[in-house]
C-alpha cells in the first residue's frame, strides 16, 4: 500500500522549509518528482512478484521478459494485464484517497493564520488568461472564471499594475515570464483603507483564498507563514497528483483493446 511517508523521505532534500527562491523551488520539485516516481514504480513492481509469466505465444516477439512499467501495451492473454488492472485500481482508490487526505490536512493548517488586510490579493490579482479569454471560459461554464470577472477588472497596462505593488509585481513577473503570459487585475470595491465595501457578498474565490500554498505570496500576506510551513509537503502532493494522473491515463490506454 502506498503511504504518504514518501513525503518524510523527500523532505530531507531541503535544509529548511523556507523555499522562497523560485529557481530553488523548481530544482527541489524536480528532485521530489523523480523520487516519487521511483516510489510508484517500486510499488508497482512489488505487486508483480507473485505473478509468473506463462510465456504465451507472443513471448518471443512481444515482451521477452516481464514488463517493468505498467504503461506498456501487452497482449490480451498476458497475465500481467491483471497486474496493470491492479495498479490502475490502486491509483484510483488508495493513492487518490491518500492525496485527498493530505490536501485536507494542509488546508486545516491554514486556519492557524489570518488575513493581515494588506489587500495585495485584491490590488494585484494575476491570471495566465486575458480578460477576453476569461469571459470566454466563463461563458463555457468555468465557475472560477465567472466569479473572477464578476469581481476583477484588468489594468490598462503592466506599468499601471507595477505602480500598485512593485515588489510583488516583480515576483510574479519573474515566475511567469519564461513560461507563459501573465495578466494583472484589481478589485474596484476597495475603499480608501483597502477594505472591501461588499465583504458579505464576496464570491467563493475571495472567501476561500488562499487555497493553494504553491502560489506566490507577498511578504505582507498573513498566509506567508502557512506557505513556509507546508511548502515541501505541498510540492510532494503536487508531484503525486501529476504522477497519479499520468499513470491513470497511460495504463487505461494500455488496457484498451
If asked whether residues 137 and 103 sit together in one domain, one would say no
Task: Point out the residues of the chain with pLDDT beneath 70.
Answer: 1-22, 52-65, 177-179
Q: Are residues 78 and 132 in the same domain?
A: no
Specify whether 97 is located in the same domain as 53.
yes
Is residue 101 located within the same domain as residue 141? no
Residues 237 and 215 in one domain: no
**96 and 153 both lie in a single domain:** no
Domain count, the chain: 2
Residues 6+ apart with CB under 8 A from 19: 25, 28, 231, 232, 235
Q: Do 99 and 158 belong to one domain?
A: no
pLDDT of residue 15: 36
At residue 47, the pLDDT reads 82
Could you tell me if 175 and 76 lie in one domain? Answer: no
In a domain, 179, yes or no: yes
Report pLDDT for 79. 85
What is this structure's pTM?
0.77
In this structure, the answer to whether residues 180 and 87 fall within a common structural domain is: no
| Cβ-based burial of 126 (10 A; exposed 0-12, middle 13-18, buried ≥19) | buried
- The pLDDT of residue 187 is 96
Note whether 10 and 105 are same-domain residues: yes
Label the pairing between strands 183-186 and 153-154: antiparallel
Question: Is the residue at 226 inside a domain?
Answer: no
Is residue 19 domain-resident? Answer: yes
CA distance 18 to 171: 16
Question: What is the pLDDT, as a whole number, of residue 64?
Answer: 58
Do 127 and 77 share a domain, yes or no? Answer: no
- 10 and 90 in one domain? yes
37: containing domain: 5-112+231-255
Tell me the pLDDT tens digit for each residue of 242-256.
999 999 999 999 999
Amino acid at each position: 500500500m502506498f503511504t504518504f511517508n514518501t513525503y518524510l523521505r523527500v523532505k530531507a532534500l531541503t535544509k529548511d522549509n523556507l523555499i522562497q527562491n523560485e529557481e530553488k523551488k523548481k530544482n527541489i520539485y524536480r528532485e521530489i518528482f523523480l523520487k516519487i516516481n521511483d516510489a510508484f514504480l517500486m510499488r508497482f513492481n512489488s505487486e508483480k512478484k507473485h505473478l509468473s509469466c506463462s510465456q504465451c505465444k507472443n513471448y518471443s516477439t512481444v515482451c521477452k521478459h516481464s514488463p517493468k512499467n505498467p504503461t506498456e501495451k501487452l497482449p490480451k492473454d498476458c497475465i500481467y494485464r491483471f497486474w496493470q488492472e491492479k495498479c490502475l485500481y490502486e491509483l484510483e482508490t488508495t493513492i487518490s484517497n491518500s492525496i485527498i487526505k493530505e490536501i485536507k490536512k494542509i488546508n486545516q493548517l491554514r486556519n492557524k493564520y489570518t488575513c493581515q488586510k494588506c489587500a495585495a490579493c485584491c490590488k494585484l490579482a494575476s491570471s495566465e488568461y486575458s480578460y477576453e479569454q476569461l469571459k470566454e471560459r466563463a461563458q463555457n461554464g468555468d465557475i472560477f472564471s465567472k466569479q473572477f470577472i464578476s469581481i476583477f477588472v484588468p489594468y490598462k497596462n503592466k506599468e499601471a499594475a507595477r505602480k500598485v505593488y512593485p515588489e510583488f509585481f516583480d515576483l510574479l513577473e519573474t515566475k511567469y515570464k519564461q513560461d507563459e503570459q501573465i495578466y494583472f487585475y484589481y478589485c474596484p470595491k476597495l475603499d480608501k483603507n483597502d477594505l472591501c465595501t461588499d465583504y458579505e457578498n464576496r464570491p467563493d474565490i475571495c472567501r476561500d483564498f488562499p487555497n493553494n500554498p504553491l502560489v506566490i505570496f507577498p511578504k505582507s500576506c498573513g498566509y506567508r507563514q502557512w506557505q513556509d510551513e507546508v511548502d515541501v509537503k505541498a510540492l510532494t502532493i503536487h508531484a503525486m497528483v501529476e504522477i497519479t494522473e499520468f499513470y491513470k491515463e497511460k495504463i487505461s490506454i494500455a488496457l484498451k483493446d
